[in-house]
Structure 1
Amino acid sequence: MDVTRQGDFLIYCVETYKNAKHLTGRQVAELFTRYHVWDYVYSCYEALHTTGANYIVEDIDLYIEARKPAMA
């Protein structure tokens, strides 16, 4: 496991998501922390790093949506 490549990929994911969603770095960091996206990206690195930017953004959106509490 190459920690440097995973770290670089995590930065890539943050920047890609930030630009796609027109968010600040702080907003993305808070969102990724709230929904444990950091852990998800690390655990799925092998699969995710071979996909394109649009797929990554959509995948992160699906991951976040699945973790949001259901509306009462």
Structure 2
Amino acid sequence: MLQNDQNQLGYAMLPFVMRELVNMVMKKKTLPLRDALYYVYSSQLYKFLLDLNTKLWYSSTLSLYEALEKEKTEQRKAQGDDPEILLFKMFCIENYREAKKKSAEEVLLLFSAHGVFEFLNDNFEMLHTQDTEYILDTITTYINKKR
């Protein structure tokens, strides 16, 4: 019974924690609400906040923000600044968008939610030499397996 009460507390606190965190991201990074929401909701930190066992909702907004910034910094380092890989990812977004008749925002959210950017990073050497149809089929298959 105590665990259930704690879970209810966690779910009740999450919207308040998220409001404060998104507000801090907006202020510190001077982002509009929509971009700040994406910044937070596309993070591993958010997934950890959803895991009630972590009890992260007890952390201060500042410590959550610092953890988020650390995650995003590590993410940028891991992805590297290779302009070829960045160009390839943009190529994939635009071609997938066109093929699936979706908005760029929809594709970005889909790719982020299913780890497509990491997949493209990890498989860049093999994929970037293939034709567009093969690349799009591979991305579609990857997304379908992740669902």
TM-score (norm 2): 0.45
Measure the CA separation in 2 of the matches of 1:63 and 1:19.
18
What letter is aligned with 1:39? Answer: E
Matched residues in 2 for 1:52 and 1:40: separation? Answer: 17
Pair 1:56-2:140 in alignment? no
Higher relative contact order (CA 8 A, sep 6+): 1
> What pairs with 1:3-22 in structure 2 (closer than 5 Å)?
3-22=82-101
* Structure 1 residue runs without a partner (length 5+): none
Secondary structure of the 2:107 match is helix
Seen in structure 2, the aligned counterparts of structure 1 residues 24 and 49 have a Cα distance that, compared at 3 Å, is: same
**In structure 1, what is the equivalent of residue 121 of structure 2?**
42
Per-residue deviation, 1:2: 7.2
Give the TM-score normalised by structure 1.
0.90
User: One-letter code of the match for 1:27?
Assistant: E
Report SS of the residue matched to 2:130: coil
Indicate whether 1:65 and 2:144 are aligned: yes
CA distance in 1, matches of 2:143, 2:81: 26
Q: Structure 1: which 4+ aligned runs deviate by more than 3 Å?
A: none
For 2:126, the aligned partner's letter is A
**Residues 25-71 of structure 1, C-alpha deviations (whole Å, 9 max, x = no match):** 00000000110001000110000000011011100010001111xxx
Q: Percent identity?
A: 29
The two structures, once aligned, show a CA RMSD in angstroms of 1.3
Structure with higher helix content? 2
Q: Structure 2, unaligned stretches of length 5 or more? A: 1-79
CA change 1:59–1:9 in 2 (3 A) is: same
